[in-house]
Amino acid sequence: MGKFVITKRSNGEFQFNLKASNGQTILTSEGYSAKSSCENGIESVKKNAQDDSKFEKKTSSNGKYHFSLKATNGQIIGSSEMYESTAARDNGIESVQKNAPDASTDDQS
């Protein structure tokens, strides 16, 4: 089962990482000034991860593949790591869809 890990950045902002059951980070949030906003971001990931249309598949300038998960309002709520292939990126999306809905939260801030 997946897990959301909340941490505090050196600048004081909160962020979360969604980790798959193997411990690999599959989605990283933006920075939030308030922990409550970070927790709302986690709830948004849980809600939006099941909707394929909320995932924006991208290719970076160096030819690597990645994706963003967007909320209903179009705001990015999480981004992936860089992948070597479109298949690996698509597996990352599937992992978010599988792990996010029932993921626990580990507050390490």
Total tally of structural domains belonging to the chain: 1
Give residue 89's pLDDT.
97
Q: What is the CATH number of the domain that holds 8?
A: 2.30.29.80
Length, in residues, of the chain: 109
Q: Which of 87, 75, 99 is nearest to 26 (CA)?
A: 99
CA 8 to chain centre: 16
Task: Record the pTM.
Answer: 0.92
Contacts of 105 (CB under 8 A, 6+ apart): 3, 4, 5, 6, 39, 42
| 1 pLDDT higher than 90 | no
Quote the domain boundaries for residue 28: 3-107
The mean of the pLDDT values for the chain is 96
